Amino acid sequence: MAENSTGPSQLVRHVYRENIKYFGEPDDSFVFDNESGSSPVPNGVPGRIDVFVWHAAADLGMTTFSTIGMCDKSMTGADHRAELHFAVRERLAPDEVQKCARFLANLAVYPFLCETNLDWWHKIEDPGKIPLFSNAKCLLFYPRFVESGWDLIEVEDATVKLLNVIPISADAYKLKSRDELMDYVWNDLADPFAPW
């Protein structure tokens, strides 16, 4: 699909470069361009979301997805911008990759359509069918998993939080504290990236 007429903002370009620096060149990318559709893009909604994909390698075994473009717009009630990361511990078939990319692109516009914001530790109760995680009914947005992990991009005039999308159960959605949520992710799930 065509790039919008003004091209990506400086912030989106910076986030793109940071992803390449951190993960290397993507194996796949998908463009979800709302501006080329027949209906107008609602005010405040990003016109374009790209989803980059890094396929599972033999040494890591993890397929990684990253949105680029969500950070182009401010979220209601937030002083930060955001992008989404999603990881699955297996090599995926092409149709599974496409389903995950579309799911993430739709999730990336959610806070703008609902006039809310997303941040670490926020949850979504009913995000629709989560590809590869058919038993999960909700989502948790998690910060970095290890001390040396990556969950923040600082730019002169903006902070972009990288939100790790973790499918969770309806019971886990009811948990209130960070400690309870961390215990669920690390103990009840066993592997937060393995489909279930």
Structural domain boundaries enclosing 52: 10-121+141-166
Residue 2 clears pLDDT 50, i.e. is over it: no
Of the chain, the percentage scoring pLDDT greater than 70 comes to 93
105 CB-contact burial (10 Å; exposed 0-12 / middle 13-18 / buried 19+): buried
Q: Identify whether 48 is part of a domain.
A: yes
Average pLDDT, the chain: 92
Calculate mean pLDDT across residues 83-100: 97
Q: Identify whether 59 is part of a domain.
A: yes
Backbone angles phi, psi at 81, to 5 degrees: -105, 175
Q: Identify whether 129 is part of a domain.
A: no
157: tokens are 């005039």
Q: Identify whether 27 is part of a domain.
A: yes
Q: Identify whether 150 is part of a domain.
A: yes
Residue 42 clears pLDDT 90, i.e. is over it: no
Residue 144 clears pLDDT 80, i.e. is over it: yes
pLDDT at 39: 59
Number of compact structural domains in the chain: 1
Q: Identify whether 154 is part of a domain.
A: yes
